[in-house]
Chain A
């Protein structure tokens, strides 16, 4: 299987094959490529970034993210929760606005100050 590594902008073209329980990876420039390939086969994950509605007139929407990757299959549900938020100003950047958005303990945090 061919997969493009998304860990950094280099975008290595990974060749991945499965040999029983063992996953063989080639085409990676650094060890992060192997880790990414294994994750992509066993449990594909992505960082979620979106905007959440606020009660502020000057910043009606605020950038938020998951600090870590979440299971790909859970992303639509997480987005629904984010879009249902109504953030109240002021909130500094890095504040948790959703605890445990994925059922695995991953929060959603703000990426900028809401003045």
Chain B
């Protein structure tokens, strides 16, 4: 919002053309058209009706929007859908197979690694990414490498325990 009496008779900048984007989301090819300013997060939520991925800040400050793009965990709020044309995206909706939960999803339930559940899709996608990276092993390392996912309910110790369970380093 701009203060002061700026030129208000000028026409606003025109909107560009919509662009076609193809993503493979949770194993299914999805084609849609969006304006270039649509983030991957908003594309998933508003255009593909995959609302499991959450918006918590829209600025890469909370991790709630974490998804896996080509196997890597990223903040979907800070990338444009058009930039990801052709990518493989995995969201929280794509982790269970034929109704069987991913081991990390089950571990989150077992260890009560959430309360309100809003950061949970991002935490789980982040945890899947962490496990795939194969770097973080000790509790110190898991804490550090999960620090991009804020949980305001404060479930952190349970999140660490859930990841350890899924990694097979803790029952």
A and B, one complex?
Answer: no
Give me the interface of A with B, judged by CB distance under 8 Å. Answer: none
Give me the interface of B with A, judged by CB distance under 8 Å. Answer: none
